[in-house]
Structure 1
Amino acid sequence: MQILIVEDEQSIADNIVYALKLDGFSPTHCLLGEAAIAMLKSTPMDLVILDVGLPDMNGFEVCKAIREFSDVPIIFLTARDHEIDRVVGLEIGGDDYVTKPFSPRELVARVKVILKRVHKPIIDKTLGHPVPHINTQSQPPANTSLFLSDDAKKQIHYQGTLLNLTRYEYGLLKTLLSQPERVFSREQLMTAVWSDNCGSFDRAVDTHIKGLRAKLKQIEPDFDPIKTHRGLGYSLSITHD
């Protein structure tokens, strides 16, 4: 698989490249954010390892620019270990966050975990068995009043408008839509959407719910179909109260 490394410190990049090659990956190295953005527009990558402290632009800004045209998984590298940085990274579409100094082998392990999430079949952890295969070409989109979900295209419409969702926002909304009005705990949502949560943060669910709510409110500012149940979790209303 193709891995793009965006890191201005050559020694760090060399160590990451070496560790990735040992596990059979094909790494490509960029020194600057602008070059990384241009490369991703022309060359498909399976994952991006992105340093936050780049000389030409902030790594968070690079991530925002990438998210305008790509949903490629992104792991942030940073010398800062503050919760606000982790939250910001998750809010703008990052998948994981590694603090310097770090073990290249641990980083490769995180790469494997994220790629496994992206490429493995969807597992219903609540039921404890794989979801049966469905011929999605013959499946009509599921209509649930305010929402229209098309599993084949991995798209959800809200009040007739196609939502531009990240992978995790789509997973959360799809899970909530599966049983309207049911209260899902944060742990249940994490298990259903993230599959393996060893590299995720405690506030990951809340962070992505916040982003999902913001996108829904852009369509109808005065109505929030996602209900917060304090100490319990979240539920979804598919009709106006």
Structure 2
Amino acid sequence: MQTPYLVYLVDDETNLLGLLQSYLESAGFRVRAFSSGADVLPVLDEPEQPHIWILDIMLPDIDGYELLRLIRSKSDVPIIFISARDQDIDKIIGLELGSDDYLAKPFLPRELVIRVQKLLQRTYEKGPVLAAAQPQAYQDWVAVGPYLISEKGRLVKEGDNLIELTTKEFELIIYLLHNQGLALNREQILTAIWGEDYIGSDRAVDDLVKRIRKKMPKFPLETVYGFGYRLTRP
């Protein structure tokens, strides 16, 4: 039997927090609720992490934007922003920082449940990542510079060392590999990695490339100035 998805819910409105937790649990999710940003900080490095975060922007101590930055520095887990301020700028900033959805208060709890269900389905429908899989179990390794990449195993290694990548970092590497030698503009990359319904700046592409270059400095990914990026051929 599949373990229920784990949801981390952060909101300083106690009544709303309890109501949303009740709705999510009734829908079959495991829920861990937090009423402040300070309560969240200690759990960011715990072994068990959620399948999705729901973050209120307006928290009394550490706001949702800062929490999103901290979460995004560690993983690409789905994040839904909720806010009492129905302003386009909040939505745009959230999406640019890496949130996946935005819901303005007041909203029906059922709407949040549906959005959570759909986002989890899109994110995890490919099946669980086999974190303990051994590199030698896969026969599709492709060499790119000093790196070996296995699409089936969702693994990248340099020599005997595995390189830890987030979901979107790996997906961009595979997309570039499938289009090796082609100049890809930022819009193409946004659509391929984030989907056609993505709303936000193409700076998300630049940020993702920057993270890949930091982890894989010898990866032959070049900037096509004023256009986008290209994975060069050997």
Q: TM-score range by the shorter chain?
A: 0.7 to 0.9
Percent identity (aligned): 30
Tell me, yes or no, if the aligned pair for 1:71 and 1:167 is still in contact at 8 Å.
Answer: yes
Superposition map of 1:48-197 within 5 A:
48-121=53-126, 137-139=137-139, 141-145=141-145, 148-151=148-151, 154-156=154-156, 165-182=165-182, 189=189, 192-194=192-194
Q: Does 1:227 align with 2:224?
A: yes
Tell me, yes or no, if the aligned pair for 1:5 and 1:29 is still in contact at 8 Å.
Answer: yes
Match of 1:102, SS state, is coil
Take 2:59 and 2:136, find their aligned partners in 1: how far apart are those partners? 43
Tell me, yes or no, if the aligned pair for 1:181 and 1:235 is still in contact at 8 Å.
Answer: no
Shift in Å, 1:238: 2.1
In structure 1, stretches of 5+ residues that fail to align are 123-134
Q: Does 1:237 align with 2:214?
A: no
Task: Give the TM-score taking structure 1 as reference length.
Answer: 0.71
Task: Give the TM-score taking structure 2 as reference length.
Answer: 0.73
**Would the alpha carbon gap of residues 224 and 81 (structure 1) be closer, same or farther in structure 2, given more than 3 Å must change?**
farther
Take 2:89 and 2:149, find their aligned partners in 1: how far apart are those partners? 33
In structure 2, stretches of 5+ residues that fail to align are 128-134
Residue in 2 aligned with 1:130? Answer: none
Corresponding residue pairs, total: 219
Shift in Å, 1:30: 0.6
Match of 1:56, SS state, is coil
